């Protein structure tokens, strides 16, 4: 019995799936079944009811799950505390961000971080919102940055920036002649949207509902970069954070139009697992992101 085995069982219990637990742990489904069988043999009891779909824990399995979760939490806390001592002013901070924040917003904060802690490496991964939540909760990532953060009892969620939203179109689009328009001008326009799984999609859909507006969705993508490329070939228009299109505006490949009804923004946030013990540099970096430290 080891920590990885306990984590595997915890994933099976929470995901209620051998295949999804195998994917999360980068092993085969048969390896998951074999390790579970070994656990059951070691403890002389059945932990999972395999006949149910989705699978369910037995009473013994529920007890085992609670113990495994407690042990893993304690181990993660120990590891965090140990790392905070070892890497007090050096080491690495693991950050995950959605692409738009990581590419367009985060670099300035990393530069400020390097001034204070030049020996600390800030490692940034670009992930989907769902992956960021998952990896922050499992401890693989120290700090997550995403749009429209949801509250979770296992997370500390901090406000980051309000990103101004603008209508974006091709420079030859009929709407491009305007510097500002009312949002009603988008009625039945060909619209390039985020996929349904993306939090910003729900945020923009709520704006449309408030204004009783119907657009004509022609494409859906899971990231801003692909949406921008579709707009550049004049497939349709979209609503995007202005900070994410600055390069295209400078190059003249996209046109930004202000929406005059109100100041539309997209909230972004910083997420950290509750009770996670962070190194001094990581705490400083969070303060930078929360704008608690004057510009340096």
> What does the pLDDT read at residue 296?
39
Which of 30, 63, 78 represents a domain boundary (last residue)?
A: 78
Output the six-digit token pair for 121. Answer: 């490496």
Stronger pLDDT, 88 or 115, i.e. the higher one = 115
The CATH number covering residue 203 comes to 3.40.190.290
Q: Is the model's pLDDT at 295 over the cut of 50?
A: no
pTM for the model = 0.70
Whether residue 294 is contained in a domain is answered as no
Q: Is the model's pLDDT at 90 over the cut of 60?
A: no
pLDDT digits (tens, 9 = 90+) for 62-71: 999 999 999 9
> What does the pLDDT read at residue 85?
66
Residue 139 shares a structural domain with residue 284? yes
CA distance 50 to 227: 43
Whether residue 175 is contained in a domain is answered as yes
Name which of 21-35, 77-91, 136-150, 278-292 the model is least confident about.
Answer: 77-91
> What does the pLDDT read at residue 88?
56
How far is the CA of 55 from the CAs of 26, 44, 60, 66, 128, in angstroms?
Answer: 20, 19, 14, 17, 27
pLDDT digits (tens, 9 = 90+) for 99-148: 999 999 999 999 999 999 998 999 999 999 999 999 999 888 999 999 99
Output the six-digit token pair for 196. Answer: 């349904």
* Owner of token pair 């909230």: 267
> What does the pLDDT read at residue 75?
87
Q: Is the model's pLDDT at 271 over the cut of 90?
A: yes
CA distance 141 to 135: 5
CA distance 264 to 255: 17
Give 241's strand partners: 165
Contact yes or no for 61/6 (Cβ under 8 A): no
pLDDT band at 92 (very low <50, low <70, confident <90, very high): confident
Can you tell me the mean pLDDT for 2-16? 91
> What does the pLDDT read at residue 108?
94
The CATH number covering residue 61 comes to 1.10.10.10
CA distance 242 to 163: 7
CA dihedral 209, 211, 216, 221 (to 10 degrees): -60
Residue 201 shares a structural domain with residue 277? no
* Owner of token pair 């993306």: 198
- Scanning the chain, the segments in alpha helix (DSSP H) are 3-15, 18-25, 29-43, 59-86, 99-104, 106-116, 129-138, 199-210, 224-232, 246-251, 280-289
pLDDT digits (tens, 9 = 90+) for 162-217: 999 999 999 999 999 999 999 999 999 999 999 999 999 999 999 999 999 999 99
Whether residue 296 is contained in a domain is answered as no
CA distance 121 to 288: 16
Helix (H) or strand (E) holding 271: strand 265-273
Number of domains making up the chain: 3
What is the extent of the structural domain holding 252? 162-266
Stronger pLDDT, 153 or 164, i.e. the higher one = 164
> What does the pLDDT read at residue 198?
93
Which of 23, 44, 78 represents a domain boundary (last residue)?
A: 78
């Amino acid at each position: 019995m080891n920590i990885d085995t306990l984590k595997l069982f915890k994933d099976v219990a929470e995901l209620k799936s051998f295949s999804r637990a195998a994917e999360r742990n980068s092993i085969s489904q048969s390896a998951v079944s074999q390790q579970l069988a070994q656990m059951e043999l070691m403890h002389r009891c059945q932990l999972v009811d395999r006949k149910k779909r989705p699978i369910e824990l037995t009473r013994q399995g529920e007890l085992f799950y609670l113990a495994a979760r407690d042990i893993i939490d304690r181990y993660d806390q120990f590891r965090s505390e140990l790392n905070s001592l070892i890497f007090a002013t050096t080491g690495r901070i693991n950050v995950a961000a959605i692409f738009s924040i990581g590419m367009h917003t985060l670099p300035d904060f990393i530069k400020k971080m390097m001034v204070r802690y030049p020996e600390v490496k800030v490692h940034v991964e670009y992930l989907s919102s769902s992956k960021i939540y998952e990896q922050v909760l499992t401890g693989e990532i120290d700090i997550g940055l995403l749009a429209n953060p949801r509250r979770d009892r296992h997370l500390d969620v901090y406000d980051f920036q309000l990103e101004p939203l603008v209508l974006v179109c091709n420079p030859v689009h009929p709407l491009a002649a305007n510097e500002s328009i009312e949002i009603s001008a988008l009625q039945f326009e060909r619209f390039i949207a985020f996929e349904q799984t993306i939090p910003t999609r729900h945020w923009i859909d709520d704006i449309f509902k408030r204004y009783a507006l119907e657009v004509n969705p022609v494409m859906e993508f899971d990231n801003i970069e692909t949406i921008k490329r579709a707009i550049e070939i004049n497939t349709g228009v979209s609503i995007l954070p202005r900070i994410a299109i600055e390069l295209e505006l400078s190059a003249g490949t996209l046109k930004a139009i202000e929406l005059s009804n109100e100041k539309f923004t997209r909230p972004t946030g910083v997420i950290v697992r509750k009770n996670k013990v962070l190194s001094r540099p990581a705490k400083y970096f969070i303060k930078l992101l929360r704008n608690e430290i004057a510009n340096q």
